[in-house]
Amino acid sequence: MHTPTTQARPSIYYTYEVFKPWLASAHPPQKRQQVVVVGAGPAGMVTALELARHGVASVVLSAELQFSQGSRAICFTRRSMEILQQVGVADRMTKGGLPWRFGNSFYRGQRVFRMEAPHDPDDRFFPIINVQQQYMEEYLHDACRANPLIDFRWGNKVTQVQQKNGYVELEVDTPEGPYTLESQWVVAADGGRSGIRTAMNLDMEGASYEGFFVIADIKIDLPFPTERRAYFDPNWNPGNTILMHREPNGIWRVDYQLPKGETPEDALKPESLKARIDAQLAMIGHAGLPWEMDWSSVYSARTLTLPDFVHGNVIFTGDAAHLLPIFGVRGANTAFQDAQSLGWHLAFVIKGLASEQLLANHSAERVGAAREIIDEAGKSTRFMAPPAGGFELLRNAVLSLSLTQDFVRPLYHWRTSRPHEYTHSQLNSLGDDNALFKTGPAHGAPPQNVRLGANDFLLDHLGGGFDLLYFTDESTIPETLQHTLTAVRAKGVPVKVIAVGSPQAVTGADITLADANGHLRERYGVPANGGAYLLRPDQHICARWLTLDATRLQAAFHTALPQ
Amino acid sequence: MTHPTHSISIPDLEVVYDRLATAIDEAGPEKASLFLVKLALLNANALRSADVFQTHVEAALRDL
């Protein structure tokens, strides 16, 4: 019998709601589901919302009865916000969040590096916004609850996973005992300690780093702006690194590395936490300022991924698929990209719009992203928490030089999570004009947002299927293209046509964007009428043409949806 | 090494020899490695070439 706690989790700033468990006895017998999503974190809920957007129903299982403990993921990137916009929660994130774009690195009391993340006037969202994970989960959960295609089940813990012939049988334990749930597909979004990954005995590739970090959230009134602060080798914690972030609701996140040999249990003792936080506050000139502990935890840096996310009818996503170090805000931000990708790939396979090759493509693209992140995150980790020996010596040499030498300072800029470009995706069109463009987002790239007017951006108009941006100042989409689009839509493929560049509504287009000053056309590098971009349902570019014709449009869909 | 015409002059090499030796002593045994790594990074910056630096690393690793 699974008995998750019914005690609301403690928090200074967040009131946890304890939800009622879903019990099989209160429902009719269970038919075989199309998709069961195991895990109700950011990866699981975004997958369910994206699936629903494409008309695919899912059951979401959470072992707990409430949102996760503590702030956990707090920094969300622009691309994450663009993805959250697609599933309808970006406004709430923006309302409660603290946006920022500057980071500071300190050594021996001197600011040795200031990171300035670019903020293009064409972007709706800031490079990063800080929101505590409980709020993000609440917003996503509200969106799931409002969606008739999502069957959300609290207090349902998966205890067994059996691959059958073309489906999966799950044993799900609940506060009234277990029941059996069959599903054609299972999305394992059950987090870094994925029980499904363990049960299936899957090995991850990559490295684990020595050393532990404490995460502590404290309520304190510090007079610093919302910027990241990193302190290297402070005298109260020699050789180690401390990070500080402002969170909403008067909370500050303090991360600090533990001296070698110290156990996580010792580090989390209240007296140990207090001594170290007091020492950090003293170092930054705020000794004695009152503070209150909200939540603390310990983590170690790992760069591990499954080499394939699809195993039979079980698909791994988010932390269940890979473990990434937090330097560079890569956990939840990578999970959103995984989930957005999985949502449409899986939905299109279920709807018969493409063969299972599409799922192989999802795995190839997202494993590629994980490997790229691991490569970058490895570099960051070797600077933030260097292994003993050569890396430690080099890091210390850079700290020392940085007091006087400009050229080493960029090494303080650990790379921040960014969307992976699927440059070599098998979905990219072969016969288009990608190579002939001088600018604009290329094959596999995420879209470039463009400001169209007050509170009006290009990405507000995209998503839910393929988007064809067709640049023209004429009154009609050419008939031959319209024929092709009709044929594609007749197969059930959702396509939206967005005409760009005409002051009047263009016949054959779903939306017309006037683009009176030609700015959108310029950002996309389209020199003349008849140019076009085809965006996948995750808005990544899969084809672009200087002059689009019906044959090549047909070919692009053929490539993007392998049969 | 292989191109004597591109080598440092003997008098300059002797200056480097003495200064490096005394600087290692100045840094002291605990900080000698740190000092040498800083120096290597400064020299790498002056070289402006990871390739040349790599050949120096390989040459220095030989016959230890």
Residues in chain B within 8 Å Cβ distance of A396: 34, 37
B-chain residue closest to A393, CA distance: B34
The DSSP result for A296-363, as a single string, is EEEEEEEEEE-S-SEETTEEE-GGGTEE--TTTT-HHHHHHHHHHHHHHHHHHHHTTSS-THHHHHHH
Q: Given 3.40.50.2300, 3.40.50.300, 3.30.413.10, 3.50.50.60, which CATH number is that of A24-98+118-204+305-357?
A: 3.50.50.60
B38, A401: Cβ pair inside 8 Å? Answer: yes
Report the alpha-carbon distance of residue A383 to residue A369 in Å, rounded: 21
Instruction: Say whether A398 and B33 touch across the interface (CB within 8 A).
Output: no
Tell me if B41 is assigned to some domain.
yes
B3 pLDDT above the threshold of 60: no
Q: The domain containing residue B31 runs over which residues?
A: 8-61
Q: Tell me which chain B residue has its CA closest to the CA of residue A402.
A: B38
CB contact under 8 A, B34 and A405: no
Q: Do domains A24-98+118-204+305-357 and A205-302 have the same CATH topology?
A: no
Domain A434-560 falls under CATH 3.90.25.10? no
- Tens of pLDDT along A359-390? 999 999 999 999 999 998 888 888 988 888 99
> Shortest CB distance from A407 goes to which of B33, B34, B45?
B45
Q: Which pLDDT belongs to residue A480? A: 98
Mean pLDDT of chain A: 96
Please write the tens of the pLDDT for every residue from A227-256: 999 999 999 999 899 999 999 999 999 999
- Given a contact cutoff of 8 angstroms between Cβ atoms, the answer to whether A9 and A16 are in contact is yes
Q: Mean pLDDT throughout B33-61? A: 97
B31 and chain A in contact, CB less than 8 A:
no
CATH topology of domain A205-302: D-Amino Acid Oxidase; Chain A, domain 2 (3.30.9)
Distance of CA B43 to the CA centre of its chain: 7
CB-CB neighbors (< 8 A) of B31 in chain A: none
| Contact by Cβ (8 Å): A113, A105 | yes
- pLDDT of residue B1 exceeding 50, the answer is no
Reading the block at residue A190, the tokens are: 């059950």
B37 interface with A at CB cutoff 8 Å: yes
> Are the beta carbons of B34 and A398 separated by less than 8 Å?
no
Report the residue from A393, A405, A408 with minimal CB separation from B34.
Answer: A393
What is the structure's pLDDT at A210?
Answer: 76
Minimal CA separation from A398 to chain B, in Å: 7
Residues 373-432, chain A, touching B (beta carbon < 8 A): 393-394, 396-398, 400-401, 405, 407-408
| Chain segment A96-117, per-residue pLDDT in tens | 999 999 999 999 999 999 999 9
Answer yes or no: is pLDDT of B2 > 70: no
Model confidence pLDDT, tens digit, residues A210-230: 778 999 999 999 999 999 999
pTM: 0.95
The Cα A48–Cα A60 span in angstroms is: 7
* The residue type at A494: P
How many domains does one find in chain B?
A: 1
Task: Output DSSP code: residue A497.
Answer: E
| β-pair partners for A259 | none
Read off the pLDDT band of A178 (50, 70, 90). Answer: very high
Tell me, what's the pLDDT at A2? 97
Closest chain B residue to the Cα of A405, Cα to Cα: B42
| Closest C-alpha to A473, from A438, A512, A523 | A512
Q: How far is B4 from chain A (nearest CA, A)?
A: 31
| Residues on chain A touching B37 (C-beta within 8 angstroms) | 393-394, 396-397
Closest CA to A231 of A158, A277, A193, A283: A283
Residue A528 clears pLDDT 90, i.e. is over it: yes
pLDDT score at B21: 98
Rounded Cα distance, A3 and A155, in Å: 8
- The mean pLDDT value for A417-426 works out to 92
Q: What is the pLDDT of residue B5?
A: 59
**A401–B41 C-beta distance less than 8 A:** yes
Interface test with B, best of A405, A406, A409, A411 (most B CBs within 10 A): A405
B2 is a domain residue? no
Residue B3 maps to a domain? no
Whether this model's ipTM surpasses 0.95 comes out as: no
Reported as a single tens digit per residue, the pLDDT across A306-329 is 999 999 999 999 999 999 887 778
Q: Which residues, 6 or more positions from A537, have their beta carbon under 8 angstroms from its beta carbon?
A: A54, A343, A344, A348, A463, A464, A465, A466, A494
- Interface touch B34/A408, C-beta < 8 Å: no
Structure tokens at A248: 């909403």
- Give residue-wise pLDDT tens across range A329-356: 889 999 999 999 999 999 999 999 999 9
How many A-B residue pairs are in contact by the CB < 8 A criterion? 22
Ordered by start, the domain boundaries in chain A are 24-98+118-204+305-357, 205-302, 434-560
Query: Which token pair is A177?
Result: 């005992």
